[in-house]
A and B are shown apart, each in its own frame.
Chain A
Amino acid sequence: MINFNFFVLPFFLGLIYLLLTIGKSWYRWIKSLPAIDKVKFASGIRHPGQVFSALKEVFLEALIHRRMWKQNPLLGYMHMSFALGWFLLIVLGNIESRFYSGTHLNAPYYPIFLKFFIHDKLILFFEVYSVPGIFRFIMDFLLLFILSGLVLAFIKRKRSHWFGMKRTTTHPLTDRIAITCLWMIFPMRLLAESYTAGYYGNGGGFMTQPLGNALVAMTPFPSDFVAYTMWWGYSLALGLFFVTLPYSRYMHIPTEVLLTFFRRFGIQPKKWYSSLSETEVHSCSRCGVCIDVCPLNAAGIFDSQAVYFIRGVRDNYVPEKITQKCLVCGRCQEACPVGIHTDALRLIKRRELNSGQATEYRYLSENPPKTGTVIYFSGCMTHLTPSIIRAMKGIMTEAGIEFIHLDENRSVCCGRPLMIAGKDKQANELIEFNKALIKQTRAKLLVTSCPICYRIFREEYNIPIRIQHHSQFILELVKTGKIPLQSAFRKIVYHDPCDLGRGTKIYEAPRELIQKVADLIPVREEKGHAHCCGGSLGLFEASSHQRKLMTREALDVLLENNPETIATACPLCKKTFLPESPVKVMDIAELIYLAIPKKEAISTGPVPNPSSGSVSVQSHQELSF
């Protein structure tokens, strides 16, 4: 039995083209994996456990859209109806068609256009023993499922705010063609199946049969030619969609599957544009979730959000300004339903742009530091907020800790500001310099007040000593009872600095500390979703006014519950908030220092400082902000 008609050609050729293109891309991406990743990929693919877990994730994320459900149930349903609905339609359609053809090998178009080839009331043999017409019911139900998603998608295009999205992506022409084809597919299928069912008076399910009857009744001269035209339309919509898919955002559908496997096999993003980056870029569905969370919105910047940046990377055209116009705060990365490393990608492009710029640091020289067990590295930003240094010194003196203040008089930058500009080689010069200095002290613990320094110490320095941000350090002191505390404040909100929160995942230590001295009140958007203060060193292309707008937006969220004080753990955040905030802004260290019960030793006079005799710890009253 040969079932063929010329109308299947657009679909069939489109499908072949699509499969070839995807195969070619997949082959290219796997082949161009760095050597170490190739080993990981090869060993992963041989482990059934890993393959199974990857397949499970593909099922949960690419079909059910679990992460999307958690973020926005309406969007989750919409995507699930398309993905899962279509997937089941294909699978069940295939099973159904096998009962009709009686063979295991059908032409790929046969199940898709089954109702064109078969229009009888045949009841399949197993349906006799179960429910007659079960297949027709299921197929109609799945089609209805998809169509309900389509209606939602249409509403979302027109009224995105009903879905909780303030802004959606502006799409280029290829995407708009692809989406039109995609939206045509299922209505065309509905029409074609219905009309065929109506014309031949059988073969339809609960939806297609009545609709078909109505359609036939409405047509003045019903003929099978009308149905035939509709089948052509269905095939054309499918074929066109398949041909445009590799060049549109819908390339994310096949690419995400490969990306899931890459990730499950432990392949990590690199510092250069690797095969994984290429896969990530093609996995971007341009859903636009990253647009609403971007702090740049507040500054009226709408052209450099992750979705546009990634589109530029994929098209091999990213204007310099777009690459540089980003806070690298990581909020979009946190929100991305695909989990694309947007920050890493941004830095990769910055490296390509800026790494060639020469630097000259031969002037750096430092006297050999003292030796000891604890180093305090305040960092450049903390030098601009000396009250934090005073508080830290006071706390350490209170706890009786001998420390070396490594950058007391002058500091060498930690290197992260250079790295965030894409100048890794140059940053490494500074890193090496600081490493040598740290080594000379023979210390066991490095405490820093600046999350920017803290992050790079942890990520890039590879030094065999413990590294702590001061919030962790102070918390340890409090827990071991080295510093007594009394509740000294009332309502406090905590602002998560980007590099401490999303960057190094320290959310709890500062909160625990605050709870020991005050009532910590929650913020609407906190932890992973916290706003950037607007002062980020990652941003290059923005005016000071635009930064202020972002700062105000962040403050608005923080001040929603009328706190008395804003606490933060980053000198840069403090410095940025100070001029704009109507309430006090304090660092964790300052809060704790003020909460230490007053003793005569502190309040009567200067305390001899272990690291230098010249700097005296000021009394509580003198500590002004």
Chain B
Amino acid sequence: MKDFGFNVQPDFAIDFDRNDKRITEYLAIHEPSLNLCIGCGSCTGTCTAGHFTPFNIRQLHTLLRRGETSRLKPEIKKCMFCGKCQLVCPRGVNLRNVILRLNRAIERIG
């Protein structure tokens, strides 16, 4: 194949009907404070793990809402639980419990 210096991107469409929303629903029940999120990204800005690796809680939240569980699973393991995100959150989202519950949901659903 001739190298044109760029690639053809594969199709990327989010199919909400096919995505697995079980984790999203589990979290909506057990830690509803996540709904308060305005996506300001303070959590990501202060994140301890984020200083070492591209770990992005705000992005994870987006993935969660879309139900893209497969991308969520490997990422969530990087959290160190230090709680800085929760302290800087202007909306009072109970973030440590969000991560803990996410882990639990992944553990149970697999």
Contact = CB atoms under 8 A, between A and B. Distances in A.
Query: Is B a genuine binding partner of A?
Result: yes
Interface of A: 324, 354, 356-361, 363-365, 380-381, 383-384, 409-413, 417-418, 421, 423, 430, 535, 537, 540-545, 572, 575
A384 B88 contact: yes
16 contacts: A358-B103, A359-B77, A359-B78, A363-B53, A365-B52, A383-B46, A383-B84, A384-B84, A384-B87, A409-B51, A413-B82, A417-B83, A417-B96, A418-B80, A541-B97, A544-B33
A430 B80 contact: yes
A411 B52 CA distance: 9
Query: How many of chain B's residues touch chain A, expressed as a range?
Result: 20 to 34
A410 B77 CA distance: 19
A413 B52 contact: no
Given A540-B97, A543-B33, A544-B92, A418 B81 contact: yes
Nearest to B91: A544
Interface string B42-65: 000010110111010000000000
A324 to B, nearest CB: 7
A575 B87 contact: yes
B78 A361 contact: yes
Contact of B52 (A410, A423, A572): A410
A198 B99 CA distance: 73
Contacts of A418: 80-81
B94 A535 contact: no
B84 A354 contact: no
Given A421-B100, A537-B96, A544-B33, A360 B78 contact: yes
B73 to A, nearest CB: 9
A418 B53 CA distance: 19
A358 B97 CA distance: 16
A388 to B, nearest CB: 14
Contacts of B88: 384
A575 to B, nearest CB: 6
Given A357-B107, A361-B78, A543-B92, A537 B48 contact: no
Contacts, number: 87
B100 to A, nearest CB: 6
A410 B104 contact: no
Given A413-B80, A413-B82, A545 B92 contact: yes
What are the 5 closest A-B residue pairs judged by CB atoms, nearest first? A544-B92, A410-B51, A363-B53, A360-B77, A357-B103
A357 B104 contact: yes
A423 B96 CA distance: 13
Contacts of B80: 361, 412-413, 417-418, 430
Most central of B46, B78, B81, B104 by chain A CB within 10 Å: B81
A413 B48 contact: yes
A544 B34 CA distance: 12
B95 to A, nearest CB: 10
A384 B81 CA distance: 15
Contacts of A535: 87
Given A359-B78, A380-B84, A381-B84, A410 B48 contact: yes
B10 interface: no
A409 B53 CA distance: 14
Given A363-B55, A535-B87, 11 more contacts: A357-B104, A360-B78, A363-B52, A363-B78, A381-B84, A383-B46, A411-B48, A412-B48, A418-B80, A421-B96, A545-B92
A541 B96 CA distance: 9
B82 to A, nearest CB: 4
A384 B52 contact: no
B52 A417 contact: no
Contacts of A412: 48, 52, 80
Contacts of A357: 100, 103-104, 107
Nearest to A429: B80
B48 A358 contact: no
A43 B17 CA distance: 67
Contacts of A411: 48, 51
B92 A537 contact: no
Contacts of B74: 360
B78 A542 contact: no
Contacts of B107: 356-357
A541 B81 CA distance: 15
Nearest to B33: A543
B56 to A, nearest CB: 13
B99 to A, nearest CB: 9
A357 to B, nearest CB: 4
Contacts of B53: 363
Nearest to A358: B77
A572 B88 CA distance: 12
A480 B69 CA distance: 58
B29 to A, nearest CB: 12
B30 to A, nearest CB: 8
A371 B72 CA distance: 39
A357 B80 CA distance: 12
A231 B103 CA distance: 62
Contacts of B77: 358-360
Contacts of B46: 383-384
